[in-house]
């Protein structure tokens, strides 16, 4: 079954085939092609969240599957990822309280009032799952534009302040990787996740611009500061992104109290955190970089290790631990994984630890070319 995501594609399909058969059509106003549709045979097709009048509905419903939008404050069916323009529509950086009117917060408030992770009604649970299915579908379509070893994730703590040396290190690392042709992804929230997307935002720009931007961001060090979002938009407006560089943030409304970073050019926001976590690691076939973090990052480390051990997605990719002291002393995960791998408890792990941005870039470039980075 082929998917059609625009009226232009739909018109072309009708013109070329004179019918529609086994086609999935997302979020389209079919009234704009009413005469064309009523004049052809349409069979075994999916119509997901499309606008139509009664004549079109009668023509389609006998031989096809028509799924209408549900009455919830978010679109259930759509064919693209979110962006800051969509999630933060209506936000005025000079009036921080306008955040509460944005789509992101409206959905989060609805999520809380309808049972949070355990939806109170079958309508709500169905709507969320259909929404997340649309996100996964759109995310897959976007990722398919890249070679699998070009997709790299950075994991790390949401509480890493903008003033921390590791925040700047992640920014500079992500900037260099983007400039080397990697697609950078993260959990899409604050801390190390935000730093990932700040780096991509400044890809192609001089280091002086990065320094000035970090100085602005440092005036609101963490997401609990009421100026956190304001300073992000201040930087965004002052330094427009080079649109040849993209990044994907993959946050969740489970942690909706942490606003998604607006520096991500694409935002794949989920209701189901479990789907989001596994998908995030599964996509990063080019490697995962671990900046300092706590419980959430630890969970991602072992989930990634299991995926690599079993080659769950057909490939074992590098696991690079950024900040040697943190991962060997503060959170001694690295020596444990090395020991378990040596004893045969884990197979296929490509482990390394480093404090060097240059070293990370070198290892990931070698892996992209088909090489095996050394420990």
- Model confidence pLDDT, tens digit, residues 75-134: 999 889 999 999 999 999 999 999 999 999 999 999 999 999 999 999 999 999 999 999
Residue 78 lies in a domain: no
Measured over the CA atoms of residue 342, residue 346, residue 347 and residue 351, the dihedral's sign is negative
Q: What is the pLDDT of residue 374?
A: 52
DSSP letter at 119?
-
Q: Is residue 231 classed as helix, strand or coil in its secondary structure?
A: helix
DSSP letter at 288?
E
Burial 14-41 (b: 16+ CB within 10 A, else e): beeeeebbebbbbbbebeeeeeebeeee
Closest CA to 79 of 37, 42, 131: 131
Task: Provide the 10 A C-beta neighbour count for residue 247.
Answer: 27
Query: What are 286-343's pLDDT values in tens digits?
Result: 999 999 999 999 999 999 999 999 999 999 999 999 999 999 999 999 999 999 999 9
Residue 373 lies in a domain: no
Mean pLDDT, the chain, rounded, equals 95
CATH number, position 266: 3.40.50.450
For 128, the domain range is 84-136
Q: What's the order of all strands across the beta sheet hosting 266-267?
A: 266-267, 247-249, 183-186, 151-155, 288-290, 318-322, 350-354
62 lies in the same domain as 90: no
Q: Is residue 5 classed as helix, strand or coil in its secondary structure?
A: coil
270 lies in the same domain as 236: yes
Measured over the CA atoms of residue 29, residue 32, residue 38 and residue 44, the dihedral's sign is negative
Residue 151 lies in a domain: yes
| Mean pLDDT on 236-242 | 97
| Mean pLDDT on 9-30 | 95
Confidence check: pLDDT of 373 > 90: no
Q: What is the pLDDT of residue 223?
A: 96
36 lies in the same domain as 126: no
Confidence check: pLDDT of 375 > 60: no
| Mean pLDDT on 7-29 | 95
166 lies in the same domain as 194: yes
53 burial class (0-12, 13-18, 19+ CB within 10 angstroms)? exposed
pTM, to two decimals: 0.94
Query: What are 31-58's pLDDT values in tens digits?
Result: 999 999 999 999 999 999 999 999 999 9
Range list of H helices, 180-332: 192-201, 207-217, 228-238, 273-283, 295-310, 324-325
| Mean pLDDT on 202-222 | 98
| Mean pLDDT on 225-252 | 97
Provide the pLDDT confidence category of residue 5 given band limits of 50, 70 and 90.
Answer: confident
Q: What is the pLDDT of residue 79?
A: 87
Q: What is the C-alpha to C-alpha distance for residues 11 and 118, in angstroms, rounded to an integer?
A: 41
Provide the pLDDT confidence category of residue 153 given band limits of 50, 70 and 90.
Answer: very high
Please report where in the chains the tokens 């941005």 appear, as a residue. Answer: 357
339 lies in the same domain as 240: yes
| Mean pLDDT on 182-209 | 98
């Amino acid at each position: 079954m082929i998917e059609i995501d625009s009226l232009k594609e739909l018109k072309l399909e009708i013109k070329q085939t004179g019918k529609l058969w086994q086609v999935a059509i997302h979020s389209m106003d079919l009234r704009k092609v009413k005469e064309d549709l009523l004049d052809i045979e349409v069979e075994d097709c999916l119509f997901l969240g499309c606008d139509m009048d009664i004549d079109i509905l009668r023509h389609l419903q006998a031989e096809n599957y028509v799924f209408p939008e549900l009455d919830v404050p978010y679109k259930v069916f759509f064919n693209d990822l979110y962006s800051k323009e969509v999630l933060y529509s209506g936000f005025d950086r000079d009036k921080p309280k306008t955040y509460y009117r944005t789509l992101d917060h409206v959905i989060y408030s609805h999520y809380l009032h309808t049972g949070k992770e355990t939806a109170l009604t079958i309508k709500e649970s169905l709507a969320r799952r259909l929404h997340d299915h649309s996100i996964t579908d759109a995310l897959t379509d976007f990722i398919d534009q890249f070679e699998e070893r070009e997709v790299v994730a950075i994991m790390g703590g949401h509480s890493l302040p903008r003033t921390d040396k590791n925040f700047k290190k992640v920014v500079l690392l992500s900037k260099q990787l983007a400039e080397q042709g990697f697609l950078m992804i993260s959990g899409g929230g604050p801390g190390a996740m935000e730093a990932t997307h700040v780096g991509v935002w400044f890809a192609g720009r001089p280091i002086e611009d990065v320094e000035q931007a970090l100085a602005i961001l440092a005036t609101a060090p963490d997401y609990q500061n009421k100026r956190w979002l304001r300073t992000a938009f201040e930087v965004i407006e002052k330094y427009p992104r080079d649109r040849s560089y993209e990044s994907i943030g993959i946050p969740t409304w489970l942690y909706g109290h942490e606003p998604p970073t607006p520096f991500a050019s694409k935002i794949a926001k989920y209701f189901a955190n479990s789907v989001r976590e596994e998908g995030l690691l599964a996509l990063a076939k080019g490697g995962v970089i671990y900046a300092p973090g706590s419980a959430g990052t630890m969970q991602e480390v072992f989930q990634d290790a299991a995926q690599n051990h079993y080659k769950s997605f057909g490939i074992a990719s590098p696991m690079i631990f950024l900040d040697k002291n943190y991962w060997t002393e503060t959170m001694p995960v690295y020596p444990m994984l090395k020991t378990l791998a040596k004893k045969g408890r884990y197979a296929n792990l490509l482990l390394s630890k480093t404090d060097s941005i240059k070293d990370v870039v070198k290892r990931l470039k070698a892996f992209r070319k088909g090489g095996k980075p050394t420990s």
